[in-house]
Amino acid sequence: MGIPLRRKTNETMRLLITTFAGIIFGFFLGVSFPTISLTKMNFPSSLFPSIDITYIEDKYSGLSTEALLDAFNTFKANKVMSVPSSKDNETKIWIPTNPRGAERLPPDIIESESDLYPRRLWGQPSEDLTIKPKYLVTFTVGISQKYNIDAAVKKFSENFTIMLFHYDGQASAWDEFEWSKRAIHVSVRKQTKWWYAKRFLHPDIVAPYDYIFMWDEDLGVEHFDAEEYIKLVRKHGLEISQPGLEPNSGLTWAMTRKRDDTEVHKVTEERPGWCTDPHLPPCAAFVEIMATVFSRNAWRCAWHMIQVCSSDFIFSGRCHFSPFPCVGYKFFFEMQNDLVHGWGLDFALRRCVEPPHEKIGVVDAQWIVHQGVPSLGNQGHAEGGRAPWEGVRERCRKEWAMFQDRMADAETAYFKAMGMNTSNLIAHKWIES
């Protein structure tokens, strides 16, 4: 018995309507969910050895990714690996504001500064240090001055990290002193304190220290107390300083002579014609380099002046490294790092603080004696019938002249590049007679 035609037509229409309604419902259901990129999903590599998910998503981009994802739900596993996108590579890190060379690192992992605190090889790192010294004192030493250095070190409290630079290679000979076992020793033969300072006292390494003492080995400290010195430096706002020198200890400059009527002095009177300006060295803004004390910020600047680097200026012939920014101009640098004695730095330190005649001074209430022991001079080389110290002294004079020329050239090049008149620049050159 046959099925009536009208009944077949109704069933067909019902099927078509149901199918159409299902398609519409599925479409709106699909677009109502957030789009999910397959390339961000994690799948076990063992189950997808040859499936290029990115290719599938690109080829069928007209379909809902939710629908495509349903086809792979049965392949999920606990052990997963990230499948990066070959198009966007969204996991790549590049942060231009990070320190140079660290642009690929997440900022929270970067530690651009360090310290000189010795650490244990065991236990909890947070328990390594019972005290964190706030100051650093360095001595450039030879073994012949070890008892003088022993007396000097005892003037510095546990708030100081002690660091010895050994120019004679005899670091182990200091083990008889208990403090030496806690000190930091750097040994390179026949080098000066400025050679060591440039290479081992980078500002990012000594950043934990409020003040850095850079002292020679031939200083008498009977009348000196380091903690009291720090108090006076803070009180008078000194960024660069030195203790006053006992008047009978072979003074070169009037500025560094100890005064009896004041805690600190910042200006002096020199011999006629020696000072072109009462606010400039050697009448103000001046200390010597035998017992210099830097604040953290002043040292960050001064470090960049040690071993100035000569260079070729791309469009004006010749230029040298400058502490001033050469914004917008290109340089070809030929690094030299050839000046090791530091002569001339004392006249240039004023560029690191503002105003220099207020921020640089001599502490009279805590004074020292310059013994004038030419021990480093004996590390020179005897030639042409001359004593070793004579060659060292000649090199010092040459470096002073070279440093002054480089600084003058650097300033002139900078101001010319900025379109400024250089005719009023103060020529400030000193060569010891």
Residue 28 has pLDDT above 80, yes or no: no
| Residue 203: C-alpha distances to residues 207, 240, 339 (Å) | 6, 15, 19
pLDDT of residue 358: 98
Smallest CA-to-CA distance from 415 within 295, 340, 307, 325 is with 325
Does residue 382 fall inside a structural domain? no
pLDDT of residue 326: 37
Tell me which residue range forms the domain holding 158: 132-296+354-373
Q: What is the pLDDT of residues 45-60, one digit of tens each?
A: 444 444 444 444 444 4
- E strands, 302-404, in order: 310-313, 319-320, 331-333, 360-370
Under the banding of pLDDT at 50, 70 and 90, the label for residue 206 is very high
Q: Does residue 17 sit in helix, strand or coil?
A: helix
Task: List 293's β-bridge partners, or say none.
Answer: 213, 241
Under the banding of pLDDT at 50, 70 and 90, the label for residue 125 is very high
Decide: 268 and 255 in contact? Cβ < 8 Å: yes
Residue 419 has pLDDT above 80, yes or no: yes
Residue 227 has pLDDT above 80, yes or no: yes
Please state, as a whole number, how many other Cβ atoms lie within 10 Å of the Cβ of residue 99: 13
pLDDT of residue 418: 86
pLDDT of residue 399: 76
Residue 404 has pLDDT above 60, yes or no: yes
Mean pLDDT of the chain: 78
Smallest CA-to-CA distance from 262 within 244, 277, 246, 250 is with 244
Does residue 162 fall inside a structural domain? yes
Does residue 185 fall inside a structural domain? yes
Residue 31 has pLDDT above 80, yes or no: no
State the Cα–Cα distance between residues 369 and 372, nearest whole angstrom.
Answer: 9
Which position has the token pair 């103000």?
Answer: 284
CATH of the domain at 173: 3.90.550.10
Residues with Cβ within 8 Å of residue 236, at least 6 apart in sequence: 263, 264, 361
pLDDT of residue 377: 61
For range 316-325, the mean pLDDT = 35
pLDDT of residue 56: 42
Smallest CA-to-CA distance from 228 within 116, 364, 370 is with 364
Does residue 85 fall inside a structural domain? no
Under the banding of pLDDT at 50, 70 and 90, the label for residue 382 is low
Does residue 398 fall inside a structural domain? no
Strands 219-220 and 360-370: antiparallel
Which position has the token pair 């004038």?
Answer: 372
Q: What is the pLDDT of residues 156-185, one digit of tens each?
A: 999 999 999 999 999 999 999 999 999 999
What's this model's pTM, rounded to 2 decimal places?
A: 0.70
More confident residue, 175 or 374: 175
φ and ψ of 166, to 5 deg: -100, 110
State the Cα–Cα distance between residues 141 and 133, nearest whole angstrom.
Answer: 22
Q: What is the pLDDT of residues 65-106, one digit of tens each?
A: 444 445 445 444 333 344 445 555 678 999 999 999 999 999
Highest mean pLDDT among 98-102, 314-318, 344-348, 365-369: 365-369
Does residue 417 fall inside a structural domain? no
Strands 135-141 and 211-215: parallel
For range 26-54, the mean pLDDT = 49
Residue 258 has pLDDT above 70, yes or no: yes
Residue 385 has pLDDT above 80, yes or no: no
State the Cα–Cα distance between residues 192 and 213, nearest whole angstrom.
Answer: 15
Q: What proportion of the chain, given as a percentage, has pLDDT over 70?
A: 68
Under the banding of pLDDT at 50, 70 and 90, the label for residue 416 is confident
Exposed/middle/buried for 233, CB within 10 Å: 0-12, 13-18, 19+?
Answer: buried
pLDDT of residue 20: 72
How many domains is the chain built from?
A: 1
Which position has the token pair 């500002």?
Answer: 203
Continuous H helices in 106-182: 146-153
State the Cα–Cα distance between residues 1 and 11, nearest whole angstrom.
Answer: 18
Task: Say how many CA atoms lie within 13 Å of 392 toward its Cβ.
Answer: 18
| Amino acid identity, position 4 | P
| Residue 81: C-alpha distances to residues 42, 44, 69, 356 (Å) | 6, 6, 17, 60
pLDDT of residue 339: 66
Under the banding of pLDDT at 50, 70 and 90, the label for residue 398 is confident
Does residue 224 fall inside a structural domain? yes
Does residue 393 fall inside a structural domain? no
